[in-house]
Structure 1
């Protein structure tokens, strides 16, 4: 499965992925586990995932060629 990764803020400083090819990850919880293992800095940061422009509030199935945004806390203005 191919996933496009977009990261923001302090996360973008160390997570330079643009595309990710995964065969064993099928949902957002699995993706978080994978990313936190590969990028241990991510464990110490609160962040949210958005799947195809919608913020994920619970474990959600991923599909081929989906887009995941990894977002640190932010405030509006």
Structure 2
């Protein structure tokens, strides 16, 4: 699965896209990111699956569009 990174998250990763095996849900993806990309520690970021922010654990369907988003504000 492809995971797109934006803003300061992409800067910390050194790339704008990761290719990962689908972990099945957003909690497992967060665990994987924190374990394998230590530069992300200390940064608040959000996950979006199919253009919807994950505010609670979510299933990641096969072929889903996944994004790691930096903190943002606005209104």
Whole-angstrom distance in 1 between the partners of 2:19 and 2:62: 11
| Counterpart-to-counterpart distance in 2, 1:43 and 1:21 | 19
Decide which structure has greater strand share: 1
Count of matched residue pairs: 74
Q: Tell me how large the CA RMSD over aligned residues is.
A: 1.7
- Scaled by the length of structure 2, the TM-score of the pair is 0.84
State the partner residue of 2:39: 41
C-alpha offsets along residues 5-60 of structure 1, whole Å, 9 cap, x if unaligned? 1111111113225342316x210000000011110111210011110101111001
- Output aligned runs, 1:27-66, within 5 Å: 27-66=25-64
Task: Name stretches of at least 5 consecutive residues in structure 1 with no aligned partner.
Answer: none
For structure 2, the residue ranges without an aligned partner over 5 or more in a row are none
In the alignment, which residue of structure 2 is the partner of 1:18? 17
